[in-house]
Amino acid sequence: MVGKEYLNKFHPKPSFVRRQVGYIALLIGCVVAKIVVRGKWHLPKKKGFIIASNHFSILDPPFFKYAIQKPINFLAASDQEVNGAFVWALHLYGFIPIDRENLAPSTIKKAKKVLKNGEILGIFPEGTTTSPVLKKPKNGAVFLSTVEKAPIVPISIYGAETIWQDIFKGIRPRVYINIGKPFGPFDIRGTKSEKLIKTESVGSEMAARIASLLPKSKRGEYKNDIRIKRYQKENKIVPADAIISPYYDPLL
């Protein structure tokens, strides 16, 4: 396992490197899984934007690259431990490390620079990879969307959580990636408490939009959210049921 000191040294690779890594992601995607991508027409054509997604597996980023086929700057928590077997993926692509216990101004500066440059910022709002179902989001994605006037594109990915076990069983699991309609940015003003209430409200909408792109079994506490049907109608996507390998262990 590697921890905070090691992960804080990471940074996104240069754009041309990340473009080349895209070919590796395409190869990995074709070889190890059967990937179904829906909703790609929702991706903004211009300007920087944020993709916000659930995060069930540490191997999600290469599949996002497969689906979007553009360089992505991932913002990821460094105050955690990562299995040494997966460190190769971090070296290959790099990411913007964020220490949730001691947030550095330079981290926010780097994330804002990505959006100012018209690039894509990838955020996993849950801030964890340990849950097999959707959890409540943190406020980071909404904050950055607000200050940089960048739209948020909700995305779901499921099926990749079985990859590690399935590879050694000779199984190619089916991985689903659903891309929803962009929303925001929002103009959040007022007192500190008013801003917090508005930010959490937008965060709730973001989570519900992500949940609408997941099958009911993966939505966690959002499984009965009344907004889901409306968002599915907007997206023109009804998620397929998850096919989870019998070898899947959510604690790995």
Domains of the chain: 4-235 (3.40.1010.10)
90 compared with 123, residue with greater pLDDT: 123
pLDDT at 51 over 60: yes
- 151-164 confidence digits (pLDDT tens): 999 999 998 887 77
Q: Which of 188, 241, 236, 232 minimizes the C-alpha distance to 210?
A: 232
Distance from the Cα of residue 25 to its chain's centroid? 16
- 222-235 confidence digits (pLDDT tens): 999 999 999 999 99
pLDDT at 89 over 70: no
pLDDT at 23: 67
68 compared with 108, residue with greater pLDDT: 68
208 compared with 20, residue with greater pLDDT: 208
* Interior/surface letters 84-96, b for 16+ CB within 10 angstroms, e for the rest: eeebebbebbbbb
pLDDT-based confidence at 111, cuts 50/70/90? confident
Strand order in the sheet with 120-123: 34-38, 174-179, 152-158, 49-53, 120-123, 72-77, 96-98
pLDDT at 248: 47
- 3-45 confidence digits (pLDDT tens): 455 555 566 666 666 666 666 666 766 777 888 999 999 999 8
> Cβ atoms within 10 A of the Cβ of 19, count?
14
pLDDT at 143 over 60: yes
